[in-house]
Amino acid sequence: VAIKRILPHLAEDNRFVEMFIDEAKMAVQLNHAHIAQVIELGREKNDHFIAMEYIAGKDLLALYHHMRRSRQRMPVHLVALIGHRVAEGLDYAHRKRGSDGRPLGIVHRDVSPQNVLVSYDGAVKLIDFGIAKVRKQGYEATRAGVLKGKFGYMSPELIEARTVDARADVFSLGVVLWELLATERLFAGDNEFVTLELVRRAEVDAPSTRNPAVPPELDRIILRALARDPEARYQTAAELADDLARFLHTQGFSPTNKDLAAWMRGQFSQDLESERLKSQQHARITLGPDGEVVQGSQDEEEEEPTALWQPDDGMADEWARATSPPDEVEPVPDPLAALDAPRRAAPAPERPLSERPLSERPLSERPFSERPTDQVPIGDRPTALRPQVGVQRGRGALWAALVVGLLATAAAGWWFLWREPPASLLVRVNPSDSLTIRLGDEVIGQASPARREGLKPGRQVLEVTRDGFDPWRQDIMLTAGEVTTVDVRLALSLSNEATLRFLVTPPDAHITLGGKEVHDGEARAPAGVEVALVIERAGYRPVKASLTPERGRQTLRYELALSPGTLFVETDPPGTVFLGEERRGRTPVRIDGLDPSKPWPVRVEAPGHKPHEETVEFKDRRFVQVEATLQPQ
């Protein structure tokens, strides 16, 4: 087993202990092949711990770094297999019900490379539900207003403090898969705020632009998982898992845990030997005189810590840290990064400031009446020599300059402290693009969300317009020192609306209009406004077009053409391949450009052996593989 525990210096943090226990209580209910099994929540003296399944292998962060160091790329079909396994585990957690039969509403919220393990036996396990959100008895068990997770793997709605559901985990998994395919970070800024802005925008290139081995179908799957709008994403992790399984099938791949295990053992043969030696060392672990385990070296890999961040007050906090005296800064510990670290003696717990004697508190925490002042001795003073007149005048001028400077500084400080702080505005609009957002006479944005700082407090007029939609206008009150958030949902203009009915062959093709999925073959759109149409189905050529709908109802018909098929033929011993009566080369051979709508008779001949014959049908597949062992005559 593996033991996850709280470091002694964090054991005094009741909030952290509560979060740790909540994780265990939730995770122990999850029993799935692709989620690491929690066995027990226990307590030894004052130390809480979780006993969980031990996974001998690597996390995806280690795989990512290994690929970069060795200048390799992970096989595309194995990336898809890992994504399929994780998506299945997430779907199980998302659908998990409590003892009362009601959905728990679990959202992991920290799907990242560090939290996906691949064992040397080819198993894929999702771990660490430490900051997951659970719906309990009508309320959400999470710390409101706090952004949690690794910044580069958060979803846009989590950063913007919008409602978060299972689709946020789909987005995070999409980031992980994109990075495994591309072997580079997707959202990596120079600092946390730049990274958050990159995630918020979610402007993503297809992974094939970094890795030409990625097929278009897998591009489509990854980009759909990474859609900025949750409505345009896969609505469940099960949908993502199904598409990845369909992709593997249509591409002619059938990878298993055995294939993944073979790849892992080939890539990490030295680490396997180290694991064996480490197991032998663990069998000889000794205890120190105080009962503490004598630890060895720490892991090499550095994890990006799971972060706790206030989305609305982040910039203010940054300013406060930059301007506060050093002795008043109390950094917030990162509880998740501290788990599983080497044990050490706990420092004596500090009392809260409110419980300390006034003499021990920082000056900013004491009442003005208790703050020390400069002490001036009273009574006998030594007699000073009378200064010369010139010196006295010089000192008088110096004192005058000092007094003027102090008065100016005091006036500036008084103005800074007592002036009315500016207001901030955050506007979130659906739909989120092609907008004109005005505050008074000033345009403050053309896309959602739009944020403006340094505004004058008071009543203002906010107006949002978009072609094909009714304008939205409202008086708002901006409050000094606060962020006013306004959510706007624009309504389609009834006088300028088009209703589109799609009749597509095959009927189960996937349709998106303006980036949004079309359900039941019907969609509404603003008339006279150009919109992008995409119709796709595995095994068929996609349709990509721009439409300008007309007012009223329209019926649009599309018939997708089958994509050309590819046939792989491999025999033992090698032989000559015939399609019908046409000779197509010797095995192993790849034959492209075949019509997938008709059957293809395949015959392989080799001297001294019986010919092998079979008929190949593509059906919905683009790739078909024929493997045969020729029998002696």
Q: Give the tens place of pLDDT for each residue, 559-568.
A: 988 888 889 8
Annotated catalytic, 334?
no
Instruction: Decide if 92 contacts 32 (C-beta within 8 A).
Output: yes
Average pLDDT over residues 618-630: 84
| pLDDT attached to residue 512 | 93
Average pLDDT over residues 473-489: 89
| pLDDT attached to residue 384 | 38
Average pLDDT over residues 374-390: 38
| pLDDT attached to residue 444 | 92
| pLDDT attached to residue 223 | 96
Please name each of the domains of the chain with its CATH number: 55-280 (1.10.510.10), 423-489 (2.60.40.1120), 494-559 (2.60.40.2190), 565-629 (2.60.40)
| pLDDT attached to residue 163 | 82
Average pLDDT over residues 519-539: 86
- Cis peptide bond upstream of 331, omega within 30: no
pLDDT at position 64 over 90: yes
**Tens digits of residue pLDDT in 568-612:** 899 999 999 999 999 999 999 989 888 888 899 999 999 999 999
Strands, E assignment, 76-183: 116-119, 124-126, 134-136, 139-141, 147-149
Average pLDDT over residues 90-114: 88
| pLDDT attached to residue 260 | 94
| pLDDT attached to residue 293 | 56
Average pLDDT over residues 198-211: 92
Average pLDDT over residues 309-333: 39
Any idea which of 90-104, 216-230, 490-504 has the lowest mean pLDDT?
Answer: 490-504
332 φψ region: left (φ > 0), alpha (ψ -120 to 50), beta (else): beta
**Tens digits of residue pLDDT in 390-408:** 444 445 555 566 665 666 6
Any idea which of 276-290, 380-394, 538-552, 592-606 has the lowest mean pLDDT?
Answer: 380-394
Select, from the ranges 242-256, 318-332, 364-378, the one with the highest average predicted confidence (pLDDT). Answer: 242-256
> What is the band of 146 on the pLDDT scale with cuts at 50, 70, 90?
very low
| pLDDT attached to residue 141 | 40
| pLDDT attached to residue 608 | 94
Q: Do the strands 623-629 and 565-572 form a parallel or antiparallel pair, or are they unpaired?
A: parallel
Average pLDDT over residues 505-534: 88
Angle at which helix 257-267 crosses helix 76-95, to 10 degrees, equals 120
| pLDDT attached to residue 334 | 38
**Tens digits of residue pLDDT in 486-505:** 989 887 665 567 889 999 99
Q: How many CB atoms lie within 10 A of CB 516?
A: 16
pLDDT at position 539 over 80: no
Average pLDDT over residues 368-384: 38
Helix, strand, coil proportions of the chain in percent (round to 5)? 30, 30, 40
The Cα–Cα gap between 579 and 143 comes to 65
Average pLDDT over residues 5-30: 72
Catalytic residue selected from 22, 91, 110, 243: 110
The Cα–Cα gap between 116 and 61 comes to 8
- Cis peptide bond upstream of 506, omega within 30: yes
The Cα–Cα gap between 633 and 615 comes to 22
| pLDDT attached to residue 88 | 94
Distance of CA 536 to the CA centre of its chain: 26
The Cα–Cα gap between 455 and 402 comes to 36
Instruction: Decide if 224 contacts 232 (C-beta within 8 A).
Output: yes
> What is the band of 551 on the pLDDT scale with cuts at 50, 70, 90?
confident
pLDDT at position 438 over 80: yes
CB neighbour list of residue 472: distance below 8 Å, 6 or more residues apart: 463, 464, 465, 488, 490
> What is the band of 558 on the pLDDT scale with cuts at 50, 70, 90?
very high
Instruction: Decide if 43 contacts 53 (C-beta within 8 A).
Output: no
Average pLDDT score over the chain: 77
Q: Look up the pTM and report it.
A: 0.48
pLDDT at position 152 over 70: yes
| pLDDT attached to residue 286 | 57
Average pLDDT over residues 164-178: 96
Average pLDDT over residues 308-332: 39
pLDDT at position 181 over 50: yes
Helix (H) or strand (E) holding 397: helix 389-418
